[in-house]
Structure 1
Amino acid sequence: MGRDRISELPDDLLNLILMYLHMEESIRTSVLSSRWRDLWLKVPGLDLNLIDFPAHGELFGSLMDKFLEVNNGRLEKFKLNYENETYYLRDSFAPWIATVVDRGIKHLDVKNNTPWITDFMPSNIFKSKTLVSLKLVNIGLDNPKFVVSLPCLKIMHLGDIFYSHLIVEKLISSCPVLEDLTVVRIYYEDLLNFLCVRSQTLKKFRLTFDWGMGSTDFSVEIDAPGLKYMSFRDSQSDRIIIKNLSSLVKIDLDTEFNLKFGLGSPLELEDLTKRDIIRDFLTGISSVKHMIISHPTLEVLYHYSKLGPLPKFHNLYHLQAAFSSSLLQLLPDFLEICPNLKNLFLDYSVSAEPEQIDFTNVPQCLILTLEYVEIKELTMREETGIKLVNYFLENSAVLKKLTLSFIDSPMTNQESEIYMQLLTSTKRSRGCQVLIL
């Protein structure tokens, strides 16, 4: 028989391997041999997933108590994932978390999968000297009466948390080395109406808030001079303040600035406050180099462009944008504000009522800098899409590659030839390669 080389590994290495298994999987290894019987009790971290085993919740509770009794050393991570079916264990969750925090936990991840049933975290998480990452989903946070201090926390994820804006400000300001922050805002009366993110060390920030409920006024302020990446997906805030984002490299933008489309233009000439908010936001992110922008945001900018000029994005070299055929009228003007653009990715879609498109304007980037264009979701004989492709072929002086993909891709060679025959333009850039996927 072959040797059991895995069992010959030292305890420290085996414990490290077991740490990356769910708790129930780690416990199952105890039946392998006497060598493995108590190893799971000494792992430096636990992944406790109660959702898949609701009927065994009480058993898990006793095993967890035993683990904390035997394993009294410092833990690396503790992950707890549960839902309403394990309600009889809920009184144990806070004591477990308080215990692992006191023992110097580095990575804490707690997720409640039952909406509107809120468990509150123990207060000692606000003064942990060892936490490096903290992820809380659908959890409540009481406003602590003491000074919050999280000197080692670098990563924080707050998803659908029940708290006030004061707690969030305390948390962020108490993290002197915070680098990565995610906030998923939840609609709930009197909770987090105002989100303020001020940090000198923050490098990545993700904000999601898209619940279309109620009439409560929401606002957000971001002041992060070291920020490199931001995902901004907030369609509910009426007031948005952007400060000190000159270091921003990449942004993923999906917001309607709380404008409701439907009857007439969402932006009127006299709506100076909303116009100023949009203008100041765009100006605040204008140093960005890489932008992903959604169709709803482009729709807002289309209406805004009729009332005033869009700010220039001089550093932008990579743009991914979702343009429908009804918004293509904005495309030349939008490219005009990106004078140094090199790479353009268009997610194209056909609108029910496309507008007449004027492609006579040729922005500077098409003449001097644009080298790569990719257009996705084209339709074989759709007229507006053909005009769009012709526009780039006719006017892009330094274009190296134009890549086209279709809704029913991949196309056959015959279909590709048919589409090329539909194009009537002459390539301005003789070295441009047209690739049909």
Structure 2
Amino acid sequence: MSFFGFLCQFFLPSLKVLHLHSLTFLDDDSFQNILSGCPVLEELDIQRTNQGDNIKTLCICSSTLKKLCMYNSFCVTRLQPSVVIKAPVLEIFQLNDFVSSVFNVDELPSLVKANFKFYFENRRSEDYYNGVVGMLGKISNVQHLELSNGIPKVVTEAFDYNTLLFHNLTHLRLQICDIHWSILLDLLGHMPNLKVLVFNEFMVGELCLWSGEPESVPKCLSFCVEAIEFSGFAGCKGEMKLVRYLLGNAMVLKKLTITSRTRNKKIKANVLKFPRGSSTCQIKLLYRSYSMYPKVAEWL
């Protein structure tokens, strides 16, 4: 166990990269002393995995910070900490959060890439969901965004959801299962200039729920999306219906890539027969072996 509260004078005028992993502080101020002692800091990686690190409000305030990676784990059980971020030149933001109760984030106008993973429990309140959406609203300039499972469903239920607009977003990567695809398609409506859509590792089973085609097609799907990728494709009905919908409505799609868990001939035959909204779309089917030495090969 490491304590940083005893450092009354902490000054590293040339330090640009700082990693703080599994530390225990005396209080919030002791953490602030570290940041204020790094006047040119550009990259901060903080992992909070102790049984309570004594920080109630984690405040990241820096006018020079360009990359921020935060991991707040299940182990921080004594407190439900808050997160405050004031970093106007931040370009890369990665947040894995399982315990924080409040998010207070200033506008991040310089953000290019963001990756958010949250742990949602039934005990989470509507205020918490609205806080997550509020934080997403502060990263509206982001160009590359990755969202973990559960976030699309939660944000669509939040009060401020309709105010979200990712006007600069071109690349979206999703880790989702067990939600109605209408929620996904509704989310795409807030990303008018999306070009690349990637689905990560579907879970095995009938978890891709399909409630019928929506009345309208998201603007980005009709006019902007050029590449779609499925990773860990299982071939369940929900997945197949989604592929059919995307192929039929992505009017400028250039490439659809499906990486499957199995060489199921029926999956391949059905996908190749689906109607395509884009006459120039190419379909690439890959097979990933999950042996001791996994590899990806073209599905012939």
Q: Which residue of 2 aligns with 1:373?
A: 228
Gaps of 5+ in 2: 287-300
Moved over 6 A (4+): none
* Structure 2 counterpart of 1:297, one-letter code: I
Q: Which residue of 2 aligns with 1:337?
A: 190
Contact map agreement 1:287 1:313 (CA 8 A) in 2: yes
Gaps of 5+ in 1: 1-117, 119-138
Of the three residues 238, 260, 272, the one matched with 2:121 is 260
Structure possessing the higher relative contact order (Cα contacts under 8 Å, 6 or more residues apart): 2
Is the deviation greater in 231-240 or in 395-404? 231-240
Q: Which residue of 2 aligns with 1:228?
A: 91
Query: Distance between the aligned counterparts of 1:247 and 1:325, measured in 2?
Result: 33
Matches within 5 A, 1:134-149: 139-145=2-8, 147-149=9-11
Secondary structure of the corresponding residue to residue 254 of structure 1 = strand
How many residues of Structure 1 are paired with residues of Structure 2 in the alignment?
A: 282
Contact map agreement 2:181 2:210 (CA 8 A) in 1: no
Secondary structure of the corresponding residue to residue 326 of structure 1 = coil
Query: Distance between the aligned counterparts of 1:190 and 1:158, measured in 2?
Result: 12
Q: Which residue of 2 aligns with 1:431?
A: 280
Contact map agreement 2:208 2:237 (CA 8 A) in 1: no
**CA deviations over 1:363-385 (Å, ceiling 9, x no partner):** 000111100000112224x2111
Query: Distance between the aligned counterparts of 1:311 and 1:229, measured in 2?
Result: 20
The change in CA–CA distance for 1:173 and 1:370 in structure 2 (over 3 A counts) is same
* Structure 2 counterpart of 1:376, one-letter code: S
Q: Which residue of 1 aligns with 2:218?
A: 363
Of the three residues 139, 146, 157, the one matched with 2:19 is 157
Of the three residues 112, 121, 137, the one matched with 1:249 is 112
Q: Which residue of 2 aligns with 1:40?
A: none
Query: Distance between the aligned counterparts of 2:110 and 2:65, measured in 1?
Result: 11
Deviation of the 1:234 alpha carbon: 1.3
* Structure 1 counterpart of 2:23, one-letter code: I
Q: Which residue of 1 aligns with 2:179?
A: 326
Q: Which residue of 2 aligns with 1:219?
A: 82
Secondary structure of the corresponding residue to residue 161 of structure 1 = coil
* Structure 1 counterpart of 2:35, one-letter code: I
The change in CA–CA distance for 1:205 and 1:279 in structure 2 (over 3 A counts) is same
Query: Distance between the aligned counterparts of 1:339 and 1:311, measured in 2?
Result: 11
Query: Distance between the aligned counterparts of 1:202 and 1:308, measured in 2?
Result: 28
Q: Normalization by structure 1: what TM-score?
A: 0.60
Is the deviation greater in 230-239 or in 423-432? 423-432
Query: Distance between the aligned counterparts of 1:282 and 1:386, measured in 2?
Result: 30
**CA deviations over 1:20-75 (Å, ceiling 9, x no partner):** xxxxxxxxxxxxxxxxxxxxxxxxxxxxxxxxxxxxxxxxxxxxxxxxxxxxxxxx
The change in CA–CA distance for 1:327 and 1:187 in structure 2 (over 3 A counts) is farther
Contact map agreement 2:24 2:54 (CA 8 A) in 1: yes
Query: Distance between the aligned counterparts of 1:289 and 1:353, measured in 2?
Result: 29
Contact map agreement 1:325 1:350 (CA 8 A) in 2: no
Q: Which residue of 1 aligns with 2:203?
A: 349
Question: Does residue 297 in structure 1 map to residue 151 in structure 2?
Answer: yes
Deviation of the 1:166 alpha carbon: 1.1
Matches within 5 A, 1:10-409: 118=1, 139-145=2-8, 147-163=9-25, 164-189=27-52, 191-211=54-74, 214=77, 216-256=79-119, 259-261=120-122, 271=126, 273-304=127-158, 308-309=161-162, 311-347=164-200, 348-350=202-204, 355-360=209-214, 361-380=216-235, 382-408=236-262
* Structure 2 counterpart of 1:399, one-letter code: L
Deviation of the 1:309 alpha carbon: 2.1
Higher helix fraction (1 or 2): 1
Secondary structure of the corresponding residue to residue 136 of structure 2 = helix
Secondary structure of the corresponding residue to residue 324 of structure 1 = coil
Q: Could you say which structure has the larger radius of gyration?
A: 1
Query: Distance between the aligned counterparts of 2:257 and 2:198, measured in 1?
Result: 9
Query: Distance between the aligned counterparts of 2:56 and 2:242, measured in 1?
Result: 42
Secondary structure of the corresponding residue to residue 182 of structure 1 = strand
Query: Distance between the aligned counterparts of 1:212 and 1:299, measured in 2?
Result: 25
Determine what percentage of the aligned residue pairs are the same residue: 28
Deviation of the 1:420 alpha carbon: 3.8
* Structure 1 counterpart of 2:188, one-letter code: L
Deviation of the 1:277 alpha carbon: 1.3
**CA deviations over 1:213-251 (Å, ceiling 9, x no partner):** 636231010110111101111121111111131100001
What is the RMSD of the two structures over their aligned residues, measured on CA atoms?
Answer: 2.2
Contact map agreement 2:45 2:70 (CA 8 A) in 1: yes
Deviation of the 1:293 alpha carbon: 1.0
Query: Distance between the aligned counterparts of 1:406 and 1:218, measured in 2?
Result: 40
Q: Which residue of 2 aligns with 1:99?
A: none
Of the three residues 400, 406, 422, the one matched with 2:270 is 422
Contact map agreement 1:371 1:399 (CA 8 A) in 2: yes
Deviation of the 1:352 alpha carbon: 5.4
* Structure 2 counterpart of 1:156, one-letter code: L
* Structure 2 counterpart of 1:249, one-letter code: V
Contact map agreement 1:195 1:221 (CA 8 A) in 2: yes
